[in-house]
Structure 1
Amino acid sequence: MSGIVVRVTLHIDTAQRRARLAVRHGLAGAVHPGKTAEEVAADLVALHATDPATVHLSVAARLHRPLVADLEAALYERRSLLRMLGMRRTMFVVPAGFAAVVQAGATRAVAAEQRRLLLKHLAETGVGDAAWLQDVSESTYEALRRRGSATAAQLAGDEPRLRTLMVFPQGNQYVTSRVLFLLAAEGRIVRGRPVGTWISSQYAWSCLPDWLPEPLPELDPAAARAELARAWLARFGPGTTADLKWWTGWTMTHTKAALRDLAAVDVSLDGGETGWVLPDDTGPVDDPGPWVALLPGLDPTVMGFQSRLWYLGPHAPALFDRTGNAGPTIWSDGRIVGGWGQQASGRVATEFTEDVTPAVRKAVARAADELQGWLGGVRVTPRFRAPLERKLSDVAGTVVP
């Protein structure tokens, strides 16, 4: 007996990663008629909300029914979902009960960085200093508290200093959006109902203590980061250290610390990379069988990883914009096989980037008809436009085979 312990690293292949994504992201298997928008958001950890249409389309793709009224009730009446700044300075919709984890684990650091940057810009443009920013911020907050709900324009009318212009060589910028962004990142104000329809990107603001029945609890940042990493691994794992670092926007130090705190298990992946799973998540997931889905631009499944070759292949130039934002995609059995766009007539047009079987083509056509039907004539143009989406949206005529 030599006493040497040989550690065998678990291997999770690409087929298993695709099966996990399909099942855990609600893209395959039985449709559950009673499932709620809140449950879909929890399944995906957070719904991308930079483009307001993404929230609705992501939920509808999992529940296979239009959810506009139900989702708006969750956001603005029950307030069981919260629109907030989160990872990577990105807008998300998260379950209200998980908002404190996002705030402490990601948004608090964003707020600190944005405050430093804004103070730098105020000084460079001769607008003001920390005292000036504090005074304007407090005045804006009090104006919002008095109104209860207000647009940015209304608040600028109450606090004229919000119309102060910062003059830069590359262009000018009013402080309005920067001050409101900072107040939101600090967890003091929240975006409420949109000004217009569900695809509008302009919102009325409210003070967070008036919006939620109870204030967000103050969590320890390290514990919150571990909890955020746990949620991500449970839904997206296995993922690499670089995937988690990118998705969260953390430093490498914070990323590695969160993985250590969770006692995450390292696994080998196809292609030679090392991924991570939770200690109780090393077993296989059954193959869910064939499935297709039409996912919107910025869908959480598409945007969950930095390394996307295993489900995207070589098609990023056609399906993503130049800064890495995903356009609308067609999925089949855990990989992206094409993209879609909506024409001026409302028709959902599709194009394949991979060879697929006739059965997949028929399933995609049915999914396109389903999406087109529940949109009911509403025209959705992604905020970040990928080349293939632009092409399909500009094409007149029938669905591209």
Structure 2
Amino acid sequence: MPARPQFDDDQRRARLARRHRLAPGTRADRAEQVVDDLVAVHATDPTTVFLAVSARLATPGIADTERALYQDRTVLRHHGMRSTLFAIPAALAPTVYASTTAKVVARERARLLKDFAASGRDAAWTAGVEAAVRAALADSPTELTGAQLSEAVPQLRETIEYGAGTSYRAEQPVGMRLLRLLGMEGSIVRRRPQGSWTSSRHRWAPGPDAPAAPSAAERVAAQVELARRWLASHGPATEDDLVWWTGWGVREVRAALAGCAAVEVELAGGAAGFVLPDDLDPVPEPAPWAALLPALDPTAMSMKHRDWYLSPAHRPELIDRSGNLGPTVWWNGRIVGGWAQRSDGEVVLDLLDDPGREARGAISAEAAVLRGVLGDARVTPRFRTPLERRLTS
């Protein structure tokens, strides 16, 4: 049996720098280029989308992402992998839905109907409220916030008991559950938030009719396409990495890797990784680069196995209890520290490694750029890490 092609950590870091538009000379002119190359950008924290894109633009800033999201609508917020909200290329939305979201939607709708029925609200009641929501959005001359929708459709303000008989029993507004589900289906869509770009209080607008559930063949084809896109951006990567990123089962991931003819390669330490068949040649090492990336940045969060760019010794400072990475400082493909913004607007750093004089200068320059991008905005990550808390205390 021929030896597997080998990829050391330096080659993986070189690919990451170039393909994620972090290396000098690779920055993008438009937000769509960044999102397309990253495949998906975490959007659970609204600031992640803007700061992740800005860090990869030739002219950093917020305005071009706002244009792509709210004016041209070439980038969409969409529930996808691991039931998480992402910003994705609009053209990729059908693939994400068929490969991943449709299955989650079916599960979420069944759970919602069960919980609503337990509170005396049957399927007919739920369908009536859904119709009222869509009618309110269709009849409104403007997009509506969740609070405005609740004024138009009072049933959304009603509450249901969740987790009855358990230690996590709570009451939830009908609107919180129902609007999320309709957003996952795509029949209503998130638009510009109320307030600034840091706000998560999105306005809602009518979307297309919810797509039909994909056939088994359509789902498989979509999974192959999504795996191909992800490997082109993130490969070589392990099977575990793709399982983690997609939320698919191991069998689904293996079938998708086979469907895109992924080639097994050997990573540092002997682990098996995968790349696309036309992606076996090494890429040139980029010039030295620094970056300040936001919490949940897709470069930092796309892998399950991160030791090749994140030292295990730094994990307790940079990762919260749920595994979410906070704001990070990068030098030449490694995370060397973290950053935070204080209440007075100052961007402060903590370098957990000493990367050297050249690196410190480049990192300070990136911090100055970030201060300019943030302007009067104040950013506190939704998922806070020990280092970020310490820097802002």
Relative to the length of structure 2, the TM-score reads 0.93
Q: Does 1:87 align with 2:111?
A: no
* Matched-pair contact (CA < 8 Å) for 2:18–2:26: no
For 1:142, the equivalent position in structure 2 comes to 135
* Matched-pair contact (CA < 8 Å) for 1:100–1:218: no
Deviations 1:258-296 (A, max 9, x none): 111111111111123211111111111110021110000
Q: Does 1:246 align with 2:244?
A: yes
For 2:177, the equivalent position in structure 1 comes to 178
Instruction: Note the 1:270-289 alignment, pairs <5 A.
Output: 270-289=268-287
For 2:190, the equivalent position in structure 1 comes to 191
Instruction: Note the 1:50-129 alignment, pairs <5 A.
Output: 50-124=44-118, 126-129=119-122
For 2:24, the equivalent position in structure 1 comes to 29
Give the letter for the 2:66 counterpart. E
Distance 2:23 2:212 in 1: 34
Q: CA, structure 1 residues 173+20, in 2 after alignment: closer, same or farther (shift >3 Å)? A: same
* Matched-pair contact (CA < 8 Å) for 2:62–2:373: no
Give the letter for the 2:203 counterpart. A
For 1:258, the equivalent position in structure 2 comes to 256
For 2:326, the equivalent position in structure 1 comes to 327
For 1:352, the equivalent position in structure 2 comes to 351
Give the stretch that moved more between structures: 128-137 or 283-292: 128-137
Report SS of the residue matched to 1:62: coil
* Matched-pair contact (CA < 8 Å) for 1:226–1:258: yes
* Matched-pair contact (CA < 8 Å) for 2:102–2:213: no
For 1:399, the equivalent position in structure 2 comes to none
Report SS of the residue matched to 1:311: coil
The runs of 5 or more residues in structure 1 that have no matched partner are 1-5, 395-401
Give the C-alpha shift of residue 363 in structure 1: 1.0
Aligned-residue CA RMSD in angstroms?
1.9
Give the C-alpha shift of residue 64 in structure 1: 4.8
Deviations 1:218-244 (A, max 9, x none): 782111111111110000011111111
Give the stretch that moved more between structures: 305-314 or 66-75: 66-75
Give the C-alpha shift of residue 216 in structure 1: 11
Q: CA, structure 1 residues 252+218, in 2 after alignment: closer, same or farther (shift >3 Å)? A: closer
Give the C-alpha shift of residue 69 in structure 1: 2.0
Distance 1:66 1:18 in 2: 23
Q: CA, structure 1 residues 216+233, in 2 after alignment: closer, same or farther (shift >3 Å)? A: farther
For 2:224, the equivalent position in structure 1 comes to 226
Deviations 1:104-153 (A, max 9, x none): 111111211111221232234x2323333222222222222222521112
For 1:391, the equivalent position in structure 2 comes to 390
Q: CA, structure 1 residues 299+262, in 2 after alignment: closer, same or farther (shift >3 Å)? A: same
Give the stretch that moved more between structures: 229-238 or 159-168: 159-168
Distance 2:110 2:212 in 1: 24
For 1:206, the equivalent position in structure 2 comes to 205
Give the C-alpha shift of residue 343 in structure 1: 1.1
Report SS of the residue matched to 1:340: strand
Q: CA, structure 1 residues 15+31, in 2 after alignment: closer, same or farther (shift >3 Å)? A: closer
* Matched-pair contact (CA < 8 Å) for 2:288–2:332: yes
The runs of 5 or more residues in structure 2 that have no matched partner are none
Report SS of the residue matched to 1:63: coil
Deviations 1:297-336 (A, max 9, x none): 0111011111111111111211011101110000111110
Q: 2:145 aligns with which of 148, 151, 176?
A: 151
Give the C-alpha shift of residue 63 in structure 1: 1.4
Q: Does 1:11 align with 2:9?
A: no
* Matched-pair contact (CA < 8 Å) for 1:65–1:374: no
Deviations 1:39-59 (A, max 9, x none): 011110111111111111111
For 2:370, the equivalent position in structure 1 comes to 371
Distance 1:101 1:154 in 2: 32
Q: Which runs of 4+ in 1 moved over 3 A?
A: 215-219
* Matched-pair contact (CA < 8 Å) for 1:329–1:339: yes
* Matched-pair contact (CA < 8 Å) for 2:68–2:74: yes
Instruction: Note the 1:294-309 alignment, pairs <5 A.
Output: 294-309=292-307
Distance 2:39 2:203 in 1: 25
Distance 2:363 2:58 in 1: 13
Give the letter for the 2:139 counterpart. R
Relative to the length of structure 1, the TM-score reads 0.91
* Matched-pair contact (CA < 8 Å) for 2:51–2:62: no
Q: CA, structure 1 residues 229+27, in 2 after alignment: closer, same or farther (shift >3 Å)? A: same
Give the letter for the 1:127 counterpart. G
Q: Does 1:161 align with 2:159?
A: no
Deviations 1:23-73 (A, max 9, x none): 1000102155x6110001111011111111111111111115343222211
Report SS of the residue matched to 1:157: helix
Q: Percent identity?
A: 49
Give the letter for the 2:22 counterpart. L
Give the C-alpha shift of residue 354 in structure 1: 1.7
Distance 1:265 1:242 in 2: 15
